Structures are given as structure tokens and as C-alpha cells.
Chain A
Amino acid sequence: MKPSGSKLMAGIAALLIGQAALQYNIFPLWQKNYAPKQSTPIGLSPEQLLLAFAGFREFMAGVLWVQADGFFHSGNYDAILPMLRLVTWLDPHQVDIYSTGAWHMAYNFTDESQRSDRRYIVPALKFLEEGIQNNPTIWDLYFEMGWTYYHKVQDPASATQWLAQANEFEKMITARRHILAHAYEKSGQLQNSVDTWVDLVDRAEEEYRKKPDNWEAQIERDTTRNNLEQMLIRIVRRYGDQPETQPPVNLNFDATVKVVRPRVILVEGKLGIPTIGTRVDVIVRNKGHNMEYDPAKLQTFSFEVDKDLTYMQDTLAVRESKFRRELDMSKDPKMYPFTADEYEVVISYNPRFSSPHVQDRLGWLGEGMTDDNYLVEADQHLKPLGPDSKPEDKQSPVRMVRKVITLTRDQILMRGSRDRVNAPN
């Protein structure tokens, strides 16, 4: 029987209401589970945009990521940055893109001497922060944030906050949980470090009891036990009844800077540490510019960095209590623009980042060292303690040596003189 037009119309109306009711219920769930976190991607070619609009966002993200990987392997790092932005716009749940992208920014934009461009560290931290906001239930990016603070920024106190959050996730890789204990140790929070190792030993023992034939469980148990034991021994050696850190050793620290060619400086000096394996830090920066590694400094993520900022950081090895090296910044004018009038060369030694055998003599906080001229006390974030410092800033301040030398732009560029310039101390 042929259905009548009016019956069909009634059917259409009923079905239209039915589908609208279903859509009304589906939309809130779609928003919660599947809605893209970012706005529309800008920068895609028309056909890519069409594919992304047609529901193939993840597919496009995959295509672009493979392309970005190709750029990485060919060393074309500049091309990677916009790709990263596009991929995370298309699929903000691919945590690997955030972690790999932040790693590229923090580590891989290097000068001719393989020194990374530290201006990109803050964008890297911001990128990770955005990744965490988009993926708050996944441990990876909390760990990456903590690791970047711990290893790249060398700010273990800030690292502990992120690593502690990562360790709260049950799925966290076991071996990576150790970093929190190391970060507590490096930031001078010794009790927290011991507590973390005790917790890790308990977890490892429990896992080994469950899987006695599993070699990984056995290794983890042995490693955590050994690390806890080492930590306790170090505390006793450094702070026991007869501490090896006393009496303090006088470092007799000093350093000089010479401009040997335009944008090339020779840093040399002495540091009286009676053992090998020590390195001093050298920073060349616009005068008064203290790099603050805080993602809150950027309102939103941006690849743009201050093109007028010169910020070079390197370490020099100390051999037979002396250090000496030329630092060449002439081949990378984009990274070291030298557009400001004055620059600071900061030469410092911080015992907190020394190897354990050096710390056995100097202590975690530098209690075992002194210096007649350049000894300073700095808080965990390496800012000098001043009258405005808050009480919490003064927790476990570290004793370090630091000398700051000021150079003018003309001196660094060797303008007005063809001779070597000895920087005023």
C-alpha cells in the first residue's frame, strides 16, 4: 500500500523531533568527551583545513606530525615550531606532541657550540602547561614539566612540585618515580628525599612479593634499597658527629673575562676544589635581565621570543683548580643579538649541582666551603636573598660563589679598538 503524503509528513515531523531530542542529549556528552579543546587551526593549507573541518582532525594531526618528524631528522628545527602548534590545535590529546615539542624547544635550538637557546625554555614550559591543562589525568606531562625544571632549568625546588603530582598517578613508570627523590635531595629537602626513598622501597618490596620471578621487580627493589642506603650514608658523612664537610675549604675563587674577538670572550679563573668533576656556570646576559623560568610569565603560549635579548649559558670544567675557555657567540647573531648597551657575565659555582663525591666535601648547601671575596647565599631559585625576601624563600639557602663582570656593547663588539679588551672587574 502506498503511504499517503500526510502520513509521511507526520512521520517526518515525529522523526525530526526524535532526532532533535537525541541530539539534545548527545551534545553535552560530546562536549565533555570529544570536543576539541582548541579553537580552529590557523595556518593550515586549504586542503588541510578542509580535511580538518570534515572531521579528520586526528588524521591531519598525524600527517603533520610525520612531516614535523621529517624536519627534525633533517635538522630543520625552525619549521617544526609552527607544525607543533598546528598538531596540538588539531589533536590536543596527543601528549607525545607536547612532550616532544617542549623538548625540542628547551634543548634542540642550539648554537654552533651546541648551547641551547635558553630564551625558548619559558615557551617550552608554557607549552607543557597547556598540555597539562588539556590532559590533566595523564602523568606524562607533569613529569616532563618536572624534568625540564630539574634538568634544564636546574631548579629542583620547582621540579619537586610537578614531580610530586606525577608520582600520584598509579600508572607512572616506576623508575621515573625516583626523580622526585633526587629533586628533593638537590633542592636541600633531605627529609622529603628520605621519605620518598622509603616510600619507593615499600612499593618495590610489595611489587617483588607479588612477582618474585620478575627481574624488573627485583632490580627496582635492589636499586631503591641501595639509593636509600646511599642517601642515609651521605647524610651521616656530611652532617653526622664528625662531618666531612668541616672545616670549610677556602675556594679562593676568582675569574676574569677578556674579549678576544668580536662576540668571543675568554673566561678564565680559579676555583680551589681539591677534586675533579666540578664545573662552573657562565651566563652572558643583558644587564639586569634575570631569566625567570615561569610559564605564568606568558599569558598564552607563543613561539615568539625576545629578539633583543642575549642570554648565553654554559659550563666550564675545572681542572687542577683552574678553568679557562673561549666562548664564541659570533656565529649565531640571531641567538646573541647584542643590541643592549650593557651586559653581565655571571661566573658562579653552586655545590647543589655538583657530583656526590664533591658534595661529600662541600655539603648540599655549601657548608663545607668558604671564600674571602665572592661567597653569596642564594635561595633555592638562585635569587639573591634581599630584605624583601619572604620567610619561605630563606629555607635551606645555598652557599655559592659568584662574580659578576659588566661589559659594554662596544667592548663585546670590539668597537673603537683593534686590541683585546680586558673587561673591568
Chain B
Amino acid sequence: MNATLAIARATFGEAIRKRVLLIILLVALLILLVTPAFEVLAVREQKTILTSFGLGIIQLAGALIAIILCINMIPQEIERRTIYTILSKPVLRHHFVLGKFLGAMQTLAFAFLLMGVAFMLVMYLTLREIDPKVVKGLIMFFFQSSLLAGVTLFFSTFASPLVNFFLSGGTFLVGNILSNFLNTIEKNPQVGSMTRIPVQILVLLMPNFANFNVQNPIINPEQQLTDETAYLVQTVAYGGVYICLLLVAAVLIFNQREM
């Protein structure tokens, strides 16, 4: 366990020194700071736009950071041959994979904390109020990005960074559409079971990123939700279970890899 935590700490330290990640974070922070420029809108619209922009930028930055952070994690260690130094010590491969992922989560938590604080500061300076529901959105986006980090790390055990970028991005895209797709199909009585069943199976198998998109009721707070707490708890549990699944699969592939 100590070895895993040591790798996580090292990964975090390395990540926050990466220029590309810092640039994404900086751009996100800058955009967050300029969102009050929409002061031409009516007060309620201004709050709606500010919240949707702020959460959107944070979500987008979180997804980009997750992909760019994890895309190189394992291939770079192999390319630089630093992995041999690590694995020559009493460190097992699954410790290495888990440590890398925990380091990625730590980096994401740091980025979300920074962006969250900046967003709330902007919100307070613009609207003179902080909507506590925003925290709920930030937490769900953090889990969404963590799941994406898990997906990217899994792909990085066998794919090159460029291929991984498209694989992870594509999975994120499809994982956001699937529920919507199934919803549309279920509402349409003309769609037969030959189409519906494969989509249902896909929804049950693929990582579903749309589950974490809970921003709509935060942006439009008048909506009435059903069993919101149960939904949020189950979604976080889903994220956790799916991340475990990806890590175990990554370990399985990584264990079989010749180095």
C-alpha cells in the first residue's frame, strides 16, 4: 500500500508540473473569471448563464485534464524506461496501475478544487450569492472525470497515446449519448426490439457518463426532482464500481504485457 501511495504522490507531483495541464487549468480559470461579462442579460438570465457557463467550463476542463493526464501515464513510463526502475523494486504491477490512477484522481481533485473556488468567487462577486447546489455539480463532474481517467488509463495499457486520445474521447462521447439514445428509442413505439435490445445492452455495458450530468436542475432550480439523493448515491457508487472494473481490466492486460 505504501508503494501505491508513493507512486500516487509522485504522479501528482509530476502532473502539476506538466505545462499542458497547467495551461488547460489556467484557460479554464480565465474563462471563469470573464463570465460576468454577460451582465447585459437580465438578473435571472445572468444567473442561469453564469451557472451554465461556469459548470460547462469546469466539466470540459475536467474531461480534457483527465484524458491528457492519463493518456501518457503508462506509455511514457515504458518509453523513458523508468518503469523498469519502479518494477525492479518490491512493487507489483497492480500497485503501479492503482498508484497511477490515485495520482490522477488527486490531480483532478486539485484542479476541481481550484476551478470550484474560482467559480464560486466569480459567482459571489457577480451575484452576491453562492448557490450551494453548485458543489453537488462539481462533485458529480469530479466523479465523471475520474471515470474518464479510468477509461483512459485502461486504454493506455495497450494503446499508443494518439490512438488512446481518440478512443477515450470517443468513449466519452458515446457514453454521453447512449442514455439519450435509449430514451428516444423507448419513447418511439415504431422502434422494434431488434434495435432496442442491442442499445439496452450497450447502455448496461459501456461507461455511462450522462449519469453524472446533473447540472440542469442546478441551472434551472425551479425543477422538481424525484428521489434525487438515491440517484446521486447510486451514480457515485456506479462510478466507483466502474472505475474498479476498469482498473482490474487494466491490471489484467498490464500483467500480461511483455516489457
**Residues of chain B contacted by A27 (CB below 8 angstroms):** 179, 182, 203
The reply to whether B241 and A19 form a contact with Cβ atoms under 8 Å apart is yes
A8–B246 Cα distance when bound, in Å, is: 11
**Residues of chain B contacted by A26 (CB below 8 angstroms):** 208, 211, 231, 234-235, 238
- The reply on B197 being an interface residue by CB < 8 A is no
Q: What is the CB-to-nearest-CB distance from A109 to chain B, in angstroms, rounded to a whole number?
A: 20
**Residues of chain B contacted by A309 (CB below 8 angstroms):** none
A63–B241 Cα distance when bound, in Å, is: 35
Contact of B57 among A2, A23, A54, A59 (CB under 8 A): A59
- The reply on B183 being an interface residue by CB < 8 A is yes
- The reply on B45 being an interface residue by CB < 8 A is yes
**Residues of chain A contacted by B94 (CB below 8 angstroms):** 2-3
Q: What is the CB-to-nearest-CB distance from A312 to chain B, in angstroms, rounded to a whole number?
A: 31
A30–B175 Cα distance when bound, in Å, is: 14
Contact with A along B217-259 (1 / 0, CB 8 A): 1011011111110110011011001101100110110011000
The reply to whether B249 and A33 form a contact with Cβ atoms under 8 Å apart is no
Question: Which of B5-13, B18-26, B48-56, B159-167 contacts its partner?
Answer: B48-56
A-B contact count (CB 8 A): 164
- The reply on B1 being an interface residue by CB < 8 A is no
Contact with A along B42-74 (1 / 0, CB 8 A): 101100110011011101100100000000000
The reply to whether A56 and B204 form a contact with Cβ atoms under 8 Å apart is no
The reply to whether A20 and B223 form a contact with Cβ atoms under 8 Å apart is no
A15–B216 Cα distance when bound, in Å, is: 30
Contact with B along A3-30 (1 / 0, CB 8 A): 1010011011001101110111111011
A32–B63 Cα distance when bound, in Å, is: 26
Interface residues of A, CB < 8 Å — how many? 56
- The reply on B215 being an interface residue by CB < 8 A is yes
**Residues of chain A contacted by B33 (CB below 8 angstroms):** none
A25–B238 Cα distance when bound, in Å, is: 10
Q: Chain A contact residues: over half helix, strand or loop, or mixed?
A: helix
A53–B94 Cα distance when bound, in Å, is: 34
A35–B93 Cα distance when bound, in Å, is: 41
The reply to whether A5 and B210 form a contact with Cβ atoms under 8 Å apart is no
- The reply on B76 being an interface residue by CB < 8 A is no
The reply to whether A11 and B248 form a contact with Cβ atoms under 8 Å apart is yes
- The reply on B194 being an interface residue by CB < 8 A is no
Contact with B along A42-72 (1 / 0, CB 8 A): 0000000011011111111111011001000
The reply to whether A2 and B93 form a contact with Cβ atoms under 8 Å apart is yes
Q: What is the CB-to-nearest-CB distance from A322 to chain B, in angstroms, rounded to a whole number?
A: 42
A100–B42 Cα distance when bound, in Å, is: 11
The reply to whether B49 and A62 form a contact with Cβ atoms under 8 Å apart is yes
- The reply on A96 being an interface residue by CB < 8 A is yes
A1–B251 Cα distance when bound, in Å, is: 13
A11–B246 Cα distance when bound, in Å, is: 11
**Residues of chain B contacted by A59 (CB below 8 angstroms):** 52-53, 55-57, 59-60
Contact with A along B157-195 (1 / 0, CB 8 A): 000000000000000110011011011100000000000
- The reply on A34 being an interface residue by CB < 8 A is yes
The reply to whether A22 and B241 form a contact with Cβ atoms under 8 Å apart is yes
Q: Which residues of chain A in 49-108 are interfacial with respect to chain B, using CB atoms and an 8 Å cutoff? A: 50-51, 53-63, 65-66, 69, 73, 91, 93-96, 100
- The reply on A138 being an interface residue by CB < 8 A is yes
Q: 8 smallest A-B Cβ distances: which pairs? A: A59-B56, A15-B245, A62-B52, A93-B220, A55-B176, A22-B238, A20-B204, A58-B52
- Using a CB–CB cutoff of 8 Å, the interface residues on chain A facing chain B are 1-3, 5, 8-9, 11-12, 15-16, 18-20, 22-27, 29-36, 39-40, 50-51, 53-63, 65-66, 69, 73, 91, 93-96, 100, 135, 137-138, 171
